Amino acid sequence: MRVRKIGMMPRTYRHLDRYRQILAILFKYGFDTVLDRINLGSYLEMGLQMISRNRREQVEGLTDYERLRMALVELGPTFIKMGQILSTRPDLVPLDLIQELSKLQDDVPPFPLVQVKKILEQELRASMDTFFARFDENPIAAASIGQVHRAQLMSGEEVIVKVQRPGIKKNIEVDLEILYHMAMLMERHMEEARIYQPTRIVEEFTRSITREINYKIEAQHAERFARQFANNRFVYVPKVFKKATTERVLTMEYVEGIKVSDVGLLEQSGLDCKIIASRGAELTFEQLFKHGFFHADPHPGNICILPGNVICYLDFGMMDHVDKRSMDIFTDIIAGYVNRDMAVIADATMRIVEWDENPDRKALEADIGGFIERYLYKPLEGMHLGDILRESLQLLARHSLRLPPDIFFMVKAVTEVEGIGLMLDPDFDIVTKMAPFIKTVEKERIHPGRFIDDFLVLGSRLRQVPFDLHDLLRQLKLGKGKVRIEHRGLEPLIHGISSSFNRVACALIIASLIIGSSLIVTDRAGPSMGGFPVLGLLGYAVAGIMCLWLFLTIWRSGRL
């Protein structure tokens, strides 16, 4: 999916009508000041700027972020999904906004079976009867992108079928184009909004939702996850039926299990909650530290338990990768905490964060030191790693520092698994479960084979340098090279130079007035008053006033 620019005017009535709806809802929730500042009225025709503000609800007691969340819900599926995706991106939006967006619920009314049947037959290119012996009319779940039905294949296997909403892709494209247009206006007219790069946020969201509405990608994730744990009898991954899977339809094996959050039913069924908590943590760390490909949203709704304390993962729409560098830094932070090494934690934190402007290192190091001391000398028992990680995110946010997405997803996965573990077992200690994996990673980092691999990677990158230099020189030769220079700290100098030029220009004007007035007096040109030409006297008076003003300005500056 590609975001196209709208230009001066939405190109279809659908764009125009949708733009009107979006503006009305934003006005309703008190964002009229923002819309006025980005001058939407000058870009949109047909009186869009005349939308009544009387329809706005009384939301004065709510914060900006609360009002934004309410507006996103009313704006519909695209905006709800955008909020949910942004709630996982601390590199794009502030932490306080992330906490508010995490409250968004993706629960919408289902669409009728007639439309489900039409989509299935279009996608599978055959009658439903060819694939399904039974297809339940009522969905078991409905969300903004699609809904899920139970069914039975002709082979007799029980499955769930996820079907994408009709027209959702085109609706998302329209909303994305409108969002991109509004983001460009914000960057153009709101200086404080530029730090968050609104157009970049829309572009990142476009990439994320493009992957999410392609069910083939989710199917690939499930198959890769299944291969990772093919030899682990304590993990079960539902089978994907490729013949009944397309970009808009996903067919997977139906699994009858007990929700991991239903502790009472787990115990009644003879399952061991402590074993489940322990295995869940070990499986998460195996994903993070061994495979580098992990389930980024392991909340209770995405996990069920099968007989024998087997853990079954569901919904593979949100998966993520972690590279060696990020894994090493994350390992350093956790190892520093386990080993009570303040210097390691501080150094790893500074290596992992991103920023737009250089932070105040002194203040940051002081805050990191205070944060570490609060936790470093407490006993590990009774401490929750999730709370520590969440507080560390708040610390970074105070200094306008951001975590890259893969690290944030790692933090998110660990905190959610710890929450499930504590729900199943009050004595659950995630640090103890993590320690063996940390030690294994540390041993691998000093293994000779790792050094050889790192040198090979370095060598491949060095081999690319001549080609990169050749491309650079070629671009410069063709006149296509661009150099971006960003000045910092030059504002006082620029202001001083500008003031000096203004004074010189003013002095030239004074001199010109005096010379011109003298010529008029000498030639006695024009009307006279008391024997002196009026124009000449007026010129002397203006020159005198300007001269006095220039002298006072220089005197006040202290630079005579």
Collapsing DSSP to helix, strand or coil, 319 comes out as strand
Q: Could you give phi then psi for residue 186, rounded to 5 degrees? A: -65, -45
pLDDT value at 558 more than 60: no
Largest CA distance in the chain: 119
Report which listed range, 49-53, 367-371, 416-420, 485-489, is most confident: 416-420
pLDDT value at 369 more than 60: yes
Closest CA to 38 of 197, 196, 184, 198: 184
Residue 155 binned pLDDT confidence (cut-offs 50, 70, 90) = very high
Closest CA to 393 of 417, 410, 376, 380: 410
Collapsing DSSP to helix, strand or coil, 393 comes out as helix
Alpha carbon 383 to its chain centroid, in Å, reads 29
Q: What is the pLDDT of residue 454?
A: 53
In sequence order, the 6+-apart residues with CB closer than 8 A to the CB of 133 are: 152, 153, 154, 156
In sequence order, the 6+-apart residues with CB closer than 8 A to the CB of 427 are: 274
Angstrom distance (rounded) from CA 467 to CA 474: 10
Q: Give exposure, 175-191, as e/b (b: 16+ Cβ within 10 Å).
A: bbbbbbbbbbbbbeeee
Active site residue 36: no
Put residue 120 in one of left, alpha, beta given phi > 0 → left and psi -120 to 50 → alpha: alpha
Q: What is the pLDDT of residue 105?
A: 72
Closest CA to 263 of 453, 421, 402: 421
Q: Quick check: 228 and 304 in contact, CB under 8 A? A: no
Residue 49 binned pLDDT confidence (cut-offs 50, 70, 90) = very low
Q: Side chain identity at 392, as an amino acid letter?
A: S
- Residue labelled with tokens 């220039």: 550
Collapsing DSSP to helix, strand or coil, 467 comes out as helix
Task: Give the C-alpha distances (Å, rounded to integers) separating 231 from 237, 305, 306.
Answer: 12, 18, 17
Task: Give the C-alpha distances (Å, rounded to integers) separating 123 from 60, 248, 393.
Answer: 48, 7, 44
Report which listed range, 5-19, 253-267, 397-411, is most confident: 253-267
> Mean pLDDT across the stretch 191-212?
79
Q: Please state the three-class secondary structure of 35-72 as a single string.
A: HHHCCHHHCCCCCHHHCCCCCCCCCCCCCHHHHHHHHH
Closest CA to 281 of 325, 324, 334: 334
Closest CA to 503 of 542, 554, 558: 554
Angstrom distance (rounded) from CA 510 to CA 521: 16
As a whole-number percent, the residues of the chain with pLDDT over 90 amount to: 25
Average pLDDT, the chain: 79
* Class (C level, CATH) for 112-165+214-254: alpha beta
pLDDT tens, position by position, 78-130: 888 888 888 877 667 777 788 888 888 766 788 999 999 999 999 999 999 89
Q: Could you give phi then psi for residue 153, rounded to 5 degrees? A: -70, 165
| DSSP per-residue string spanning 209-248 | HHHHT-HHHHHHHHHHHHHHTTT-TTEE-PPB-GGG--SS
Pair of tokens at residue 376: 């470093």
In sequence order, the 6+-apart residues with CB closer than 8 A to the CB of 275 are: 309
Residue 52 binned pLDDT confidence (cut-offs 50, 70, 90) = very low
- Helices 534-557, 491-523: inter-axial angle, 10-degree rounding: 160
- Looking at 297, 328, 341, 425, which residue is catalytic? 297
In sequence order, the 6+-apart residues with CB closer than 8 A to the CB of 207 are: none
pLDDT tens, position by position, 318-349: 888 888 888 888 788 777 766 767 677 777 77
Q: Side chain identity at 408, as an amino acid letter?
A: F
Angstrom distance (rounded) from CA 540 to CA 536: 6
Angstrom distance (rounded) from CA 488 to CA 518: 48
Collapsing DSSP to helix, strand or coil, 264 comes out as helix
Q: What is the pLDDT of residue 217?
A: 93
Angstrom distance (rounded) from CA 554 to CA 547: 11
Angstrom distance (rounded) from CA 401 to CA 406: 15
Task: Give the C-alpha distances (Å, rounded to integers) separating 205 from 87, 142, 168, 367, 535.
Answer: 11, 22, 16, 33, 68
- Regarding pTM above 0.75, the answer is no
Where along the chain do its domains lie?
Answer: 13-106+169-211, 112-165+214-254, 271-446, 499-557
Give the residue ranges of DSSP H helices in 311-447. 324-338, 342-352, 361-376, 385-398, 405-424, 430-445
Residues in the chain: 560
Angstrom distance (rounded) from CA 359 to CA 369: 16
> Mean pLDDT across the stretch 283-309?
90
Task: Give the C-alpha distances (Å, rounded to integers) separating 517 from 506, 528, 535.
Answer: 16, 13, 7
Q: What is the pLDDT of residue 10?
A: 46
Q: Could you give phi then psi for residue 304, rounded to 5 degrees? A: -130, 160
Angstrom distance (rounded) from CA 349 to CA 361: 12
